Copies of this chain bind each other. A is one copy, B any other.
Amino acid sequence: MLKGYTLPRTPKGASSLAPTPPWHYVGTCLAVEYEADPGAVRAFLPPGLEFHSPQCAAYFVEWQYASDTGEEYLDPVRSQYRETIILISASHDGAPVAYCPFIWVDQDVSLLRGWAQGWPKMIGSTWITRAYDLPSPATPVVGPGGRFGATLAVKDRRLAEAVVTLREPASQLPSPTFAGAVNTRHFPELAAGLHHQPAVHELVQLKSRDVRISPIWKGEATLTIFDHPYLELPDLRPTRVLAGYRFSCALTVDDLALLRDLRSK
């Protein structure tokens, strides 16, 4: 009998790209809150979500992952990945939610766990300034004046750059935020005639649990999104940058809520 939460399914079930949840994550986030063109934001919303505001956020995150055993982080090429998340504001049944039009990671295991959650993950290269606890011209301080950069490149083109300068502790996370985001789970059909009738097409909401947040630093930011020949991220580029943030976050994923089946009847 073949076993495995995802492909490849094998006799022992040890080879599948993602193991059965729960999946535990901890990461350090650099974030930029900004506004985009309201019409562009509206155009990216799937059925079931309504326009709420033009406020968006870009997150650049250095994650470490483990299953319940915790063993993955001892072979860290299995566990660590870097991610860029773009979130736009929306409302669902009158409640404000976050929706993800674009997200990039640099590991296949993260990509597949993401597709199970409806994150539209593609492979991209994210780099984020680190902080070290020693005085050196080679590191910013985690405190007033500390400057942190982040970049995203996709298929050998730089797509985004951010710089955040910390100013003061803050009590609130940037908004929109990712822990309870609304996503679209989608899996296509390939049989002839069915290319436009996906096998899975669902609006879902994440139910992250055991969410823990470190002290939050806030300050000013810049965010540049570069032109691209086919990726539509530049349609969501900043018209105004609101603030920058730095914090760490831990959470566990093993559930989600189905909001609506988007398949046409």
Q: Which residues of B contact A46 (CB under 8 A)?
A: 2, 9
Q: Are B232 and A77 in contact (CB under 8 A)?
A: no
Q: Smallest CB–CB gap between A104 and chain B, Å?
A: 9
Considering only residues 132-162 of chain A, those with a C-beta below 8 Å from chain B are 132-140, 147-151, 153, 155-158, 161
- A-B contacts, 25 of them at CB < 8 A, read A5-B188, A8-B122, A9-B46, A11-B235, A21-B195, A24-B137, A26-B138, A64-B138, A64-B139, A73-B129, A74-B163, A75-B229, A77-B151, A77-B155, A79-B138, A80-B130, A116-B188, A116-B190, A134-B248, A136-B210, A136-B212, A136-B250, A138-B250, A191-B257, A192-B255
Copies in the complex: 4
- Say yes or no: is A178 at the interface (Cβ < 8 Å to chain B): no
Considering only residues 52-97 of chain A, those with a C-beta below 8 Å from chain B are 62, 64-68, 70, 73-80
Interface size on A, as a range, is 35 or more
Contacts A108-B122, A137-B68, A138-B79 given; indicate if A101 touches B44 (C-beta within 8 A): no
Q: Which residues of B contact A186 (CB under 8 A)?
A: 6-7, 9
Which of A12-20, A166-174, A237-245 lies at the binding interface?
A12-20
Query: When the two chains form the complex, which single residue of B7, B101, B102, B122 contacts A115, counting CB atoms closer than 8 Å?
Result: B7
Q: Are B9 and A149 in contact (CB under 8 A)?
A: no
- Say yes or no: is A256 at the interface (Cβ < 8 Å to chain B): yes
Q: Are B74 and A147 in contact (CB under 8 A)?
A: yes
Contacts A2-B46, A156-B153 given; indicate if A64 touches B7 (C-beta within 8 A): no
* Chain A 183-221 per-residue mask, 1 if CB under 8 angstroms from chain B, else 0: 011111011100110011000100100101110000000
**Which A residues contact B (CB, under 8 angstroms)?**
2, 5-12, 14-15, 17-18, 20-21, 24-28, 43-44, 46, 62, 64-68, 70, 73-80, 101-103, 107-108, 111, 115-118, 120-123, 125, 127-130, 132-140, 147-151, 153, 155-158, 161, 163, 184-188, 190-192, 195-196, 199-200, 204, 207, 210, 212-214, 229-233, 235, 248-250, 252-258
Q: Which residues of B contact A70 (CB under 8 A)?
A: 137-138
Contacts A15-B232, A74-B163 given; indicate if A5 touches B195 (C-beta within 8 A): yes
Q: Are A8 and B120 in contact (CB under 8 A)?
A: yes
Q: Which residues of B contact A195 (CB under 8 A)?
A: 5, 20-21, 254
Q: Smallest CB–CB gap between A134 and chain B, Å?
A: 4
Q: Which residues of B contact A118 (CB under 8 A)?
A: 7
Q: Are B191 and A256 in contact (CB under 8 A)?
A: yes
Among A20, A138, A199, find the residue whose CB has the most chain B CB atoms closer than 10 A: A138
